[in-house]
Structure 1
Amino acid sequence: EHKEAVEELFKCLGTVFWVPEEYLDIWTGLVGSGPAFIAEIVDALVLGAVASGMPRDLAYQGILDVLEGTSTLLKNIRVHPAEVRDEVTTPGGTTIRGLMVMESEGVKAALMKTVEETYKRSREIGLEIDSKIRKELGL
């Protein structure tokens, strides 16, 4: 009954997920901070297009459509991200060249570390709050 009330309250904000407690700090880092990370990636891609000579507005609209289409594929068709990557990567083409740059610059490793570090910080914040509560309660 309470679970349904909570779902009803929050479903206007999007999909409601019931995440096991042991994953909450990871969830916070991944989903809570995720919009900032995605926005940073979008900004970097747009700036790359601008540096190459494209007007910012055009680049921004294009990448937003790419995000929407990719999100639809991943969410509704439920393909693995590697499948999407492989479908648009041709031998000797533009995509593989860009992927090579991403690999050499450590983009995937940086994104993985980003989630790990936000998870650690979320856990630290939880421990700090717990410590303050215990102190105030005299425990």
Structure 2
Amino acid sequence: MAGKLLKIGFIGGGKMAQAMAKGFISAGLTKAESIISSCHPSDIASAKAFKDLGAESVFENLPVVEKSDVVIVSVKPSVVPIALDEIKRSNIKTDKLFLSIAMGVSTRQLEKMLPSDSRVVRAMPNTAALIRNAASVFVTGKNATEADVEITKNLLDSVGTCEEVPEGLLDPVTALSGSGPAYVFILIEALADGGVKMGLPRDLAYRLASQTVLGAGQMVRDSGMHPAVLKDNVTSPSGTTAAGLHFLEKSGFRAALIGAVEAATVKSLEVSQETETLIEKSFR
């Protein structure tokens, strides 16, 4: 579909769907009038958000599939079987790309819930899609084509960066980049609290802490240098950075972050297993 503006539908119109829609429009991949979302009748705010973009918003899922080239499944895992079963039981043509961002729902499960020839891709963006700076990964289903991969990359790159990975890595990815922004938010808050303790005004401390994290992250991403090398470059003998790093090491800073990713991975695996059980029950 190179050069063609995509018709994009969202089954579920929450914050992530809204962020992705804005990114797709800003990147020129589609226009607002080529976007449609379905929202629960009680979710007036999400419906209004899409209408404010100039997109269409409905309270049914089937029109979303009918009008779209790409259908993005962006509902809670427990809702996925209900939404997709409705599609499977209908006579709607499913010659679409189904791109799911529902946590814990595997490509195998998605394919089972859709007509047998459906083309499926599973993706995991993170909350920074809201500012078009997400770290996303994706996994292709058995029927997905090279064109589907290209479309997926274009869509996800429009709201940040993306990489294709084996599906077995989705749980640790969820723990690292999916949950990771929360860890960084705590880091920024703690850095600012330290600055305030030492006399900085609160607003200045937050500005400095957030810009420091932003700049350091960009240096790691863009320089190609190992983080340890960059760390050594700012650590002078007997200097302030060395003193601060020593305190972090004594306090178990690295171990805490490693443990956070491990704990979140375990939780993600549990959610995936619970979701699989829920989906299997829905087919009995």
Do the structures match in fold with TM over 0.5? yes
Q: Hey, what does 1:9 align to over in structure 2?
A: 155
- 1:37-48 to structure 2, matched below 5 A, reads 37-48=183-194
Alignment of 1:1-139 (within 5 A): 1-138=147-284
- Cα deviation per residue 1:41-97 (whole Å; 9 max; x = unaligned)? 010000011111101111122122222321222111111111111111112111111
Map Cα deviations across residues 6-51 of structure 1 (whole Å, 9 max, x no partner). Answer: 2222222111221211110000000001111111101000001111
Normalising to structure 2: TM-score of the pair? 0.47
TM-score of the superposed pair, with normalisation by structure 1: 0.94
Counterparts of 2:175 and 2:214, CA distance in 1? 22
d(CA) in 1 for partners of 2:234, 2:158: 34
Taking the aligned partners of 2:165 and 2:231, their CA distance within structure 1 comes to 28
Q: Percent identity?
A: 38
Structure 1, unpaired ranges of 5+: none
- CA–CA separation in structure 1 for the residues paired with 2:195 and 2:255: 23
User: For structure 2, which runs of at least 5 residues remain unmatched after alignment?
Assistant: 1-146
How far apart, in 1, do the equivalents of 2:269 and 2:211 lie? Answer: 35
Q: Which has the larger radius of gyration?
A: 2
Give the distance between the partners of 1:5 and 1:69, measured in 2 at CA: 30
| Aligned-partner Cα distance in 2 for 1:96–1:123 | 38
Counterpart-to-counterpart distance in 2, 1:17 and 1:137:
32
Distance, in Å, in 2 between the alignment partners of 1:17 and 1:39 is: 24
Paired amino acid for 1:82: A
Which structure has the highest helix share of the two? 1
Counterpart amino acid of 2:227? P
Partner Cα distance (2:264, 2:165) in 1? 17
Cα root mean square deviation, aligned: 1.1
State the structure with bigger RCO (CA 8 A, min sep 6), 1 or 2: 1
CA distance in 2, matches of 1:125, 1:35: 20
